[in-house]
Amino acid sequence: MATGRLTTHVLDTARGKPAAGVKIMLYRISGQSHRKIAETVTNADGRTDTPMLTGAALKEGSYELVFCAGDYLRASGQAPAEGTLFLDEIPIRFGIPDTSQHYHVPLLISPFAYSTYRGS
């Protein structure tokens, strides 16, 4: 049986390239509990160096990835250095029903829009 895993990556659709240096936090959601279980930063390819979860750490349930897009947009010159942003932290809540599968949750961002999907 294959070991499941959770991966992600971030693409900057406004610039047409990977988004390097995006801080990502992973939370496990259970009832009213919202517990941070991992944190990482994207590499030059917009990906994490290792899966966010794998093996026994990947459990059935609800999770939330929070992408610190505002910090990235400011650092890349796509947003003002100060003031309120249209997009800042982007939360994506999703479920993992089968721990033997690969769940890939990419984020496509620009200063005024984002999208996601279940990738492969």
Residue 89's domain is classified under what CATH number?
A: 2.60.40.180
Per cent of the chain over pLDDT 90 is 89
SS3 of 25-45: EEEEEECCEEEEEEEEECCCC
67 in a structural domain: yes
41 in a structural domain: yes
120 in a structural domain: no
42 in a structural domain: yes
81 in a structural domain: yes
85 in a structural domain: yes
Return all residues near 43 (Cβ < 8 A) that are at least 6 apart: 20, 49
99 in a structural domain: yes
Q: Record the pTM.
A: 0.94
Q: Which residue has the higher pLDDT, 13 or 32?
A: 13
Encoding tokens for residue 63?
């999770």
pLDDT at 2: 56
117 in a structural domain: no
pLDDT in tens, 44-100: 999 999 999 999 999 999 999 999 999 999 999 999 888 889 999 999 999 999 999
Domain boundaries, position 19: 5-110
Sign of CA dihedral 41, 47, 49, 53: positive
Q: Please state the domain count of the chain.
A: 1
Per cent of the chain over pLDDT 70 is 98
